[in-house]
Amino acid sequence: MTIHKEGYSSIAWATILFGVINILSFYFISYSSPALSWIIFIATLGLLVFLISFFRIPKRQLTVQDNAVVAPADGKVVAIEEVEADEYFADRRLQVSIFMSPLNVHANRNPISGDVLYSEYHKGKYLVAWHPKSSTENERHTVVFKANGKELLIKQIAGALAKRIVNYLQAGQQVKQGEEMGFIKFGSRVDILLPLNAKIQVKIGEMVKGGVTVVALW
């Protein structure tokens, strides 16, 4: 397991804060109230461990398959439905939505190998990520990929806690399946918009792994 580069600054500041709080606790509280000092230590250590865990990148065997669309994110499948596309496309698409809790790995990966046709950031609200309107009203970054004449769209959507979406892709770029496309900090959601003839391979409630689980065949 490694730590994602997006976490270096946050973890460094959290470690400094952890040290300062517990040094002050030791000098000013531990003598008169040792139990409280221990509670402070355990609570701040737990928060630090959680933060480090949030930015983890576990080692895993990535799926590379030409006719497969792999999950761009870890999380739970919360929606599989036919929708009217509201960006880039002007037709109906199959949408698969993956909810990422704060406990999930938050690095996002390219679902296919191919060309990046479109990459746009949109300011917006911070509704809870499972809210139906979060897909169109929340802060988000949209990317469209093309391979073998077929196109799919990915939306990185901020949630109530997520205040920063990172995306590394630009239009005109060629990418490989499973490589990193970005990162979302804290609870969030990723939508995949596929052609109507795509064969969905997951079901609602299923837990998927980014870069590993095959979401659809096309």
Q: Which residues are catalytic?
A: 188
Are the beta carbons of 187 and 102 closer than 8 angstroms? yes
β-bridge mates for residue 66, sequence order? none
Residue 210 CA neighbour count, 13 Å, CB half:
30
Q: How far apart are CA 73 and CA 144, in angstroms?
A: 16
Q: How far apart are CA 141 and CA 16, in angstroms?
A: 32
28: Cβ contacts below 8 Å, ≥ 6 apart = none
Helix, strand, or coil here: 65? coil
